[in-house]
Amino acid sequence: MPRISLLDKHIKVILLFFAFAAFFPETEPAAEKVFSLDQLIEMAVQNSPELKMAEQDVLSARSDVKQADAGELPQLDITTVTGPINKARVPTVDLVPTSSSYGHLQTHESGAMTVFGRLDFTISQPLYTFGKIENRKEAAILGKEAQEAAREQKRNEVTLNVKELYYAYLVAAQGKNAAREADDFIQDAAKRIKRLIELKAKNADQTDLYRLEAYSAEAKSLKAKADSGAHQAYAALKKAAGIPANVDFRLDVTELPKAPATLASEEEYVATALQQRPELAQVEKGVEARKKLADAAQADLYPSFFALATGSLAGAPGREHFDNSYWNDDFNHAYAGVVAGAEWHFDLGIGKGKLDKARAEHGKTVAEQEFARQNIPLQVIKYYQDAREAQTAYEAYSDAAAGSRRWIVSAFTNFDVGVGTAKDMFDAIDRYGKNQGEYLSSLYTYHVSLARLSYAIGQKEDIH
């Protein structure tokens, strides 16, 4: 058997590799997706399990309306039965007198069997019910409208959640950059201190490096917190928008907007909230629906008038029809008729108890409505004031951060020429880091407050 050299083996392995490479061509990596805030909101709305549940509540309420509508229409009941029966001819009367009687009835039944069939039907049409049907129909319509308002409210909650996560991710990304910049300042200061120590300058010694290490540890800790916050916000945003776990994305912007919004007066926002807040529409429809249900419970205590059409068909092959007004032939007949009637149910207290319960539930929804009308304006005022306060803060800290950056440049220059100390550099870097942190925190609070204010007044779009 011929021997295969090591070189031949290597050539075969290389050829085999190229063969596999040709059969399985290299695929291009999937492009990273880019999403705007509006796109993320729309995706979250489409994929939200809570919104899907709210939609099912709406569909259920619509079915209640259909049932209530059908209460005004005629109702048809049909019953059919079949079974075995003896064959028989029409009975006859024997009038020949005997010593014991004047005659007797002969039924003429035979032992043979046949099968009979029977169909009974009734068609009932309500005429007047004192509001039993009408009130429940109106309550069903109001209940559907309340569920639609609840669905809109859930949509607003999903939108607000996405906005908060979106702003949290952006501010965390900016925080990472700020921490990285502060660390760059610290490393730059370390180089300057080491250089002056080597030159045996009087304004630098080894103690300054030790102090700088403490500042450096704090900057690294802040960067780690920013990294963790960005990661958590990214994961939560991906889950809220329904983005698959194996799909990466980035936002179409890298920083929170700095331009302040034009805010209307506090009173205008309160008035808008009382007009278009979905919760208020939901509870108002609920109050009206409960009132209609209480009226229906009241109507249940009175009679109901109706028209009724009834009829019956029956037949049994091999069994003669017995046509007599005094006897009913259950197995061979055909008749129909129309009647008018009234139904009045007495239960000695059950109906009155149901009425009391319906009135209590109506009273509860009235209290809920009053509670909402009292607390929604307070919520609007809080978010409005939070936005105003945060706007003032981020504008002030933005100027302070710019001033502390200039302070850093000046402190570095003075240190290099020997007229400044390392402490001046540390103080400038520390103040810049704090100002930058407060600036980002207040800028985030500002945007979140605007988003919450939009939510509080029932507005889908952001306040600009």
The mean-pLDDT minimum among 137-151, 197-211, 426-440 falls in 197-211
Query: SS3 for 139-158, per residue?
Result: HHHHHHHHHHHHHHHHHHHH
Q: Which two tokens stand for residue 306?
A: 């109706």
In terms of Cα–Cα distance, which of 40, 272, 82, 282 is closest to 166?
A: 40
pLDDT for 189 equals 86
pLDDT for 12 equals 40
Instruction: Give the DSSP letter of residue 100.
Output: S
pLDDT for 2 equals 42
pLDDT for 377 equals 95
Alpha-carbon torsion, ordered 382, 387, 388, 391, to 10 deg: 160
Of residues 39 and 106, more confidence is placed in 39
Give dist(CA 268, CA 200) in Å, integer: 67
Phi, psi dihedral angles at 277 (to 5 degrees): -70, 125
Is residue 441 within 8 Å of 225, Cβ to Cβ? no
pLDDT for 18 equals 33
Whether residue 367 is predicted with pLDDT greater than 80 in this model: the reply is: yes
Residue written as token pair 């409960």: 290
Give dist(CA 44, CA 41) in Å, integer: 5
Percent helix, strand, coil in the chain, to 5, is 60, 15, 20
Give dist(CA 81, CA 315) in Å, integer: 11
Confidence of residue 453 (pLDDT cuts 50, 70, 90): very high
Alpha-carbon torsion, ordered 160, 166, 169, 171, to 10 deg: -90
Calculate mean pLDDT across residues 244-271.
90
Q: Which two tokens stand for residue 298?
A: 């009241």
Whether residue 93 is predicted with pLDDT greater than 70 in this model: the reply is: no
Complete domains list, the chain, with CATH: 33-73+129-301+345-456 (1.20.1600.10), 75-128+304-343 (no CATH)
Query: Mean pLDDT, the chain, as a whole number?
Result: 86
Calculate mean pLDDT across residues 431-438.
90
Q: What is the pLDDT of residues 67-92, one digit of tens each?
A: 999 999 999 999 999 999 888 876 66
Phi, psi dihedral angles at 331 (to 5 degrees): -115, -10
Of residues 416 and 131, more confidence is placed in 131
Give dist(CA 251, CA 37) in Å, integer: 8
pLDDT for 109 equals 62
| Beta-bridge partner residues of 166 | none
User: Coil, strand or helix: which one is 123?
Assistant: strand
